[in-house]
Structure 1
């Protein structure tokens, strides 16, 4: 279906509803346009609940402090949240998140319409995210927040904005807020495509005890409990998890995850101190070349380098203070985070080093200090109710990262070794005014300042050797004192939105905003290629890149409950431009200065609750994503491949996929999901979750494409009196053999030596689709209930 046809349909619907009488009211009572006031749950999510026990997903505006339409609100103002300005904004309860089966913790975020979360490496590495035509890598333009702390990390060794959500404990979630687009003043550098704010519970009455076991070595235990301590509530949780996966080389992933919080009062008026600790060790089966599998030389579950893997750890301490009265609210959050990561990756196998292989060791060790403060005020503006919010976001990262070549996890040189100091400050404000009972506007602005200093104390005695085309020694690739410096940049971003309605249980939205994308600090001072020490200008790459890049977008949409009782629908049409698609390639340590880009598409969501024991949901999103302009660099590279092809031992296998084009690589085109939930608070219950991830271009010329994947997960269980629950989850029940994730690039696999026994290295590689398959069908059994069964004096710390 073409976008213009959908736009015509929206216009007809708008005209029809606009001529109907407007309901003279401040908020629409029969449609979720603003959400219920956020309250912290005091029950374990894993306990008994009906399939519809929680309300349907709502827009975040309803979770806003108080009705904007009344400055004489009788209740206290909830904490300042994003205004309800976009049709694509949603808020979900923790119970909704956990109502459907998902295999890994980060997949819980797929409750976001149109979002795909997948994995190309071991169970401990950050996931890959896809949303609205963005191949977000490990989180570059999707801001993830947990309890007021950011998960995204700037200038990370494996990719800008690297966001590891493997430490998430879904059963502890009290709420998840989802926003898309650059329309929100409190959304910073990593929120260009969207932002997901997650909140844990402050207490668990009765506690939670969970045990789970299943196929491929899956074992998981979780215990959580809360106590009344020192005039407040202390909650603690501990999770242990092991998983092998279906791979010939088992992941043997071992995770330990802890959480503890003391809180007093509520989220609106109170304070808390939170500590978290997470550690994970794993082996990894990375993506493999399709040609080796098709020729029967490598199993779908095999690996080219059995020593790939890594370890990760994250420790944090955070505090929150909040205060609210009838017409104002304030909130201050501070955090200290320590994050460590070691990765051993080999994606090209024997392409550059035919003897030792291409494995690289990447490390990133950092300390993060941050502060968030915001204040909201309700008042009367020229006789109209208004709300103004102001906020400050600050963050400072002390980073030590780099990488070098390795073999079987033994590092033998140093390609990069960086000390990075990176800080950012964001000031933002927005004002929402309700001009009439059916018309309100939001105007906002954001100002960001970024500063980064890069030092590279590379040891000159362990730098990589550089060989010429003739195979002779040409020197060492020393870049330490050259790729250093300090960069600073500021950027302003206006925001605007308006809402019309309610008209006949329907509202209309229009949004525009500018945002920013941050670049890896190393790319802003890079003059020499760390792989061979050559100047980047010699290869045609335009470097260094700017620290901040502008993005702008718009969205129009409609949300309605007018068509059928119990049916919630929304349709959003959106567009977004980037001034440049800068990409730091963590696997090679270089920055690609990309062309401008444009994305546009639509999202359609439907949620139907015909009875108290059944819920049906269907969402579909489609995107058109392209570069703008011509790729002169790739055109020159392609011409070089063609004209000097006879000098490449792999010619012409190095040609497909290298011609210039305008496809945004790996950009999702179609994503569709369907959900069914049945059951009451007690007795039998069940759920189905379907997800379709359409084929994508893996190269900019579109010659190499991914294979679409359609998965169906199922759940059946029984809820007992007393809060106990038994359930069976089945994953990929139809045994779909599509790609969990795939890439298009050149490599040289172990089996390729059969055809090229004397391959000397240094080629572009055999261009191919490299993929990681969907996990085969598997089953897990889970038993959960209140921890009261183990209640004793030993369980009470005070």
Structure 2
């Protein structure tokens, strides 16, 4: 086995140790992608990142083909995620990580798998690794619809300061500063990045959304075989929210489209992450990777979804609190073998994650200040032990990848509203086999069949309430697709897929109740196209269709609420000589069912954004126009039973959060 092949694997696992900062997009061409490469999605994403600018943490998620997001709580709450016919809420069915640190929060105060990516500074992101389905042995909890991992730069070529401002009193200041770098050999690097955001948003109740981030990273080759990396980040955020408003309140003129029923919604949150990576390269055929992480997390959210339905005097505002520490470790081993005209890569790993939850609360409150009643209050520990092993066999034009993963969970929950004895601990295990095939037809096509099982854990309060039943509902699915490159500058990737999800019970954090969700099946088609007819012109489009149904329910009453049916994203990018560039982006979501019988429909939308930039030496000037055509669109929509203060009885209709109207933002950055 050549040393270069092992080094490639080493660099991928170390988050691209020698990656360069994307400064010159002219040298990034679609023709560089090799169809037979094992991780062609990641290679395609590198091209996208360099051709299509990213400016916010939300933009990072939108980079993943087929993944949609919606914001419905003032900008500071985690985004609602849609992928492959799933309304993943805030992350229940998509595994999200950053530099290997898990982002999903288990047994969260608001929702299982809650994933807040606002601690990421967009300019620090070097690559996005993603995969759809549950076909990857090193991905565990929440990997049903897919996974996403963001990786940050290991070193900077330049320091940078950026200042932006725009409508709605929007301002942003960001900076990245090279502290230590050996550019000749990249032996030792260190940098720090920081960001401050503020906006009032378009709403009648000013968001007063503020967020401060700071991130630092140090890495060093200790010698020819040993590599060490350490990173530390922290962020804090606070905001007001206009909430989700009933359509009837706007139609009756009670509030404007940008108004609110309860003006005291909002919240604050913070997260501090630390991670240490050590890699030992034993020889040209094998290496070990040790990864340790720690997160300190706090969350406090005030919401009002039903207004005066439950309490006609004080209203229905709730407070959700989460306070915890997360500890984790993973040991990974990779070894390459050569056997005649074939080669074999063996990858294995073991690890654990421990969530030490100090406080989980759901309270009925009045205008944030007065505690009216505790609906749920507890603490606990949730431990996830895992092990996996897999082989990748390269023989001729074939690549065969069998693998298996085992996860063991230990749940301990102390209900502070019940006697001090609490509930006994509960354990559960899940075995997830995988089997993938790929066949390369020269430089023109790579066919693949991916199969596997995944799972997502349920909230510890579900586990206790159900007395150990349906703790780790599994998924089973398959992808059949091909990566086509008929010409060097055209890439087409169609795929057919199927996904089954087992019976499960869901903990509704807003009501502290357990609801059955039933068995479901989803099937669909994904198509991705990338075309670069000229060096300065880049076109991309992703089209995703999903048919999602509940199994066992009568036909016509088996729709899955808010499951996306047809979505598409894409655009056109131009990089002209003399430093000028332009990117016109679109995102489309078709109408979709808002309830089980499709009697209420969540309205679709088509929205466009435009980014113009001019670069001169070390300076760059940008102008962004979001929602260029000022489309009236609803970003988040829910079927909800509500009651307004003047109403004698409740009404079930659509509640929504309006999408961003047209607004301009301009910026200037300087590299030095």
What pairs with 1:237-316 in structure 2 (closer than 5 Å)?
237-265=193-221, 270-316=227-273
The size of the alignment, in residue pairs, is 655
- Aligned residues of 1:607 and 1:618 also touching (Cα < 8 A): yes
From the superposition, tell whether residues 103 and 176 of structure 1 become closer, same or farther in structure 2 (CA, over 3 Å).
closer
Structure 2 counterpart of 1:371: 329
Tell whether 2:431 aligns with 1:516: no
Judge conservation of contact 2:30–2:490 (CA < 8 Å) in 1.
no
Equivalent runs, 1:379-390 vs 2, <5 Å: 379-381=337-339, 384-390=342-348
Deviation at 1:92, TM superposition (A): 5.3
Residue 451 in structure 1 maps to residue 426 in structure 2: no
How far residue 589 of structure 1 moved from its aligned partner, in angstroms, is 1.3
Q: Distance in 1 between matches of 2:36 and 2:177?
A: 31
Partner of residue 24, structure 2: 49
The gaps in structure 1 that reach 5 residues or longer are 1-33, 63-82, 459-478, 528-542, 632-658, 760-764, 789-798
Q: How does 1:57-136 map to 2 (within 5 A)?
A: 62=37, 84=39, 89-91=41-43, 96-97=48-49, 99-100=51-52, 104-136=56-88
Q: Give the deviation of 1:51 after TM superposition.
A: 6.0
SS at match of 1:554: strand
Correspondence 1:587 to 2:543: no
The question of 1:713 aligning with 2:643 is answered no
SS of residue paired to 1:204 = coil
Q: Measure the CA separation in 1 of the matches of 2:58 and 2:362.
A: 26
Contact 1:42 1:205 in 2 (8 A): no
Decide whether aligned partners of structure 1 residues 51 and 358 sit closer, same or farther in structure 2, where only a CA change above 3 A counts: farther
**2:141 aligned partner:** 189
Judge conservation of contact 2:239–2:266 (CA < 8 Å) in 1: yes
Aligned partners of 2:339, 2:136: CA distance in 1, in Å? 22
1:644-793 equivalence runs, <5 A:
661-680=557-576, 682-721=578-617, 723-750=618-645, 753=646, 755-756=647-648, 765-786=650-671, 788=672
Alignment of 1:154-193 (within 5 A): 154-193=106-145
- CA distance in 1: counterparts of 2:269 and 2:353, whole angstroms: 22
After TM superposition, the structure 1 = structure 2 runs for residues 305-384 of structure 1, keeping only pairs within 5 Å, are 305-324=262-281, 325-381=283-339, 384=342
Rounded to whole Å, the distance in 2 between the matches of 1:155 and 1:482 is 21
Contact 2:215 2:234 in 1 (8 A): yes
C-alpha distance in 2, partners of 1:157/1:149? Answer: 20
**How do 1:480-499 residues align onto structure 2 when only pairs under 5 Å count?**
484-499=423-438
The DSSP-based 3-state class of the residue aligned with 2:522 is: strand
Judging changes above 3 Å, is the alpha-carbon distance between structure 1 residues 394 and 308 closer, same or farther for their aligned structure 2 residues? same
For residue 711 of structure 1, report the CA deviation from its aligned partner: 0.6
Structure (1/2) with the larger strand percentage: 2
1:491 to partner: Cα distance: 1.2
Contact 1:612 1:680 in 2 (8 A): no
Residue 61 of structure 1 deviates from its aligned partner by: 8.5
Question: Partners of 1:96 and 1:268 in 2: how far apart?
Answer: 32
- Tell me the equivalent position of 2:6: none
Q: How far apart are the structure 2 equivalents of 1:309 and 1:342?
A: 9
Q: What SS is found at the alignment partner of 1:427?
A: strand
Aligned equivalents of 2:203, 2:55: Cα separation in 1? 16
Give the counterpart of 2:494 among 559, 571, 577: 571
**Does the aligned pair in 2 maintain the 1:663–1:697 contact within 8 Å?**
yes
Equivalent position to 1:139, from 91, 94, 103:
91
Contact 2:243 2:260 in 1 (8 A): yes
C-alpha distance in structure 1 between counterparts of 2:424 and 2:309, whole Å = 32
Aligned-residue offset at 1:546: 2.2
Greater RCO structure (CA 8 Å; 6+ sep): 1
- Contact in 2 for aligned 1:660/1:701 (Cα 8 Å): yes
* Other-structure match for 1:153: 105
Provide the C-alpha distance between the structure 1 equivalents of 2:583 and 2:91, rounded to a whole number of angstroms. 29
C-alpha displacement of 1:484: 3.0
Candidates 159, 171, 189, aligned match of 1:219: 171
Between stretches 708-717 and 676-685, larger displacement belongs to 676-685
Shift of 1:59: 8.8
- Which of 331, 339, 364 lines up with 1:405 in the alignment? 364
Answer whether contact 1:372 1:391 (CA < 8 A) is retained: yes
Per-residue deviation, 1:269: 5.1
**Mapped pair 1:555 → 2:445:** no
Question: In the TM superposition, what whole-angstrom CA distance separates every residue of 1:617-653 from its partner, at most 9, and x where no partner exists?
Answer: 111000000000138xxxxxxxxxxxxxxxxxxxxxx
How many angstroms apart in 2 are the aligned matches of 1:565 and 1:37?
29
Q: What is the SS of the residue equivalent to 2:425?
A: strand
Partners of 2:44 and 2:262 in 1: how far apart? 41
What secondary structure is seen at the aligned counterpart in 1 of 2:59?
A: helix
1:490, 1:131 → 2: CA distance?
26
Pair 1:54–1:503, CA change in 2 (3 A): closer
Superposed displacement of residue 147, structure 1: 1.3
The Cα shift of 1:665 comes to: 1.3
TM-score by length of 1: 0.78
> 2:393 touches 2:401 (CA, 8 Å); kept in 1?
yes
Contact 1:525 1:544 (8 Å CA) reproduced:
yes
Shift of 1:53: 3.2
Give SS of 1:353's match: coil
Task: State how far apart, in whole Å, the 1-side matches of 2:306 and 2:577 are.
Answer: 52
1:57–1:91 Cα contact (<8 Å) kept: no
The answer to whether the Cα contact below 8 Å between 2:198 and 2:208 also exists between their aligned partners in 1 is yes
Task: List per-residue Cα deviations over 1:97-134 (Å, max 9, x = no partner).
Answer: 36546674123221111110111111111110000001
Any unmatched runs of 5+ in structure 2? Answer: 1-10
Residue 663 of structure 1 aligns to a residue whose secondary structure is coil
Match of 2:534? 611
Alpha carbons of structure 1 residues 482 and 747: separation in structure 2 relative to 1, 3 Å: farther
8 Å Cα contact 1:690-1:713 kept in structure 2: yes
**CA distance, structure 2, for counterparts of residue 160 and residue 482 of structure 1:** 25
Deviations 1:348-397 (A, max 9, x none): 11110111000001100010000122111110347621111001231000
Residue 480 to residue 155, structure 1, CA distance change in 2 (3 Å): farther
Q: Contact (CA 8 Å) 2:106, 2:114: kept in 1 or not?
A: yes
Q: TM-score, normalised by structure 2?
A: 0.92
